Amino acid sequence: MSRKLKKGYFVKGEFVAEGSERDLELKRELKGTDEQSRTDLKRESTELQKLGEDLLTLRADLMARLDLTEKLKDAVLEAKRITNFEGKRRQMQFIGKLMRLVDPAVLQTVRDALTEQHSGSAHDNLVLHLAETWRDRLLAHDDAFGEWLTKCPDTDSQQLRALIRQARKDATPEKPGEAVRHGRAYRDIFQLLREQLAQPGQTSASATPDPENTTPEES
């Protein structure tokens, strides 16, 4: 009478019979990767997938500073070129897989670069706001010119003075009751001020015009 073969499986060369103590032990270990662990892994995978998507929005200068593999960099460039929805989705999944292979220290530099870019956007908005505020005050108040030069001494004072003079002239209606029109000088003042304010340290609180130190333009 032939011997009935036991049902089972091999683990690292070891035969484990179903229902045996070893089988039950392995199943307990497998179950030990409980729901919490699987939830953590899923959360981490989702976070890395999102981080990979954010790489597509990163500025070129910040991307160049990251110690990413050429394979990952090429994958990001390829994703930017793809316009097909399904193709894009698959490429992003591929990027997500590559992100899971990136060293944690490098992942942190990616997060830092994204934070820096976001802060830079806030800085740019502040520059635009200050440039508009200064332009309006320079056109409305003579004393604002001296205040500006005190805060931004590198400004070409002759150019700025000429632009202010021209902008005021352009804004003077030819006939009473006509709407104010702004010419090129008005836009050039904004550009000049923005370039000055974009320099390091110029967008501090001290660079904000102080309405208490200005007097209305003399007629």
Structural domains counted in the chain: 2
pLDDT at position 216, please? 42
Q: Is the same domain home to 167 and 98?
A: no
pLDDT tens sequence across 68-103: 999 999 999 999 999 899 999 999 999 999 998 888
Domain CATH code at residue 154: 1.10.60.30
Range 16-55 burial, b when 16+ CB lie within 10 A, else e:
beeeeeebeeeeeeeeeeeeeeeeeeeeeeeebbebbeeb
Q: Is the same domain home to 93 and 129?
A: no
Q: Provide the token pair at 29.
A: 């270990």
Instruction: Classify the C-alpha dihedral 108-110-116-122 as positive or negative.
Output: negative
Residue 116: pLDDT over 50: yes
More confident residue, 143 or 5: 143
Q: Is the same domain home to 83 and 141?
A: no
Domain that holds residue 93: 35-102
Q: Is the same domain home to 77 and 148?
A: no
Q: Is the same domain home to 85 and 168?
A: no
Q: Give the predicted TM-score (pTM) of the model.
A: 0.48
Q: Is the same domain home to 186 and 155?
A: yes
pLDDT at position 209, please? 62
Closest of 170, 164, 169, 166 to residue 137, by C-alpha: 164
pLDDT at position 218, please? 39
Residue 168: pLDDT over 60: yes
Band (pLDDT 50/70/90 cuts) for residue 212 is low
Alpha helix (H) residue ranges in the chain? 21-32, 35-55, 60-64, 70-81, 85-99, 104-140, 143-151, 157-171, 184-197
Q: How far is Cα 166 from Cα 158, in angstroms, rounded to an integer?
A: 12
Residue 2 lies in a domain: no
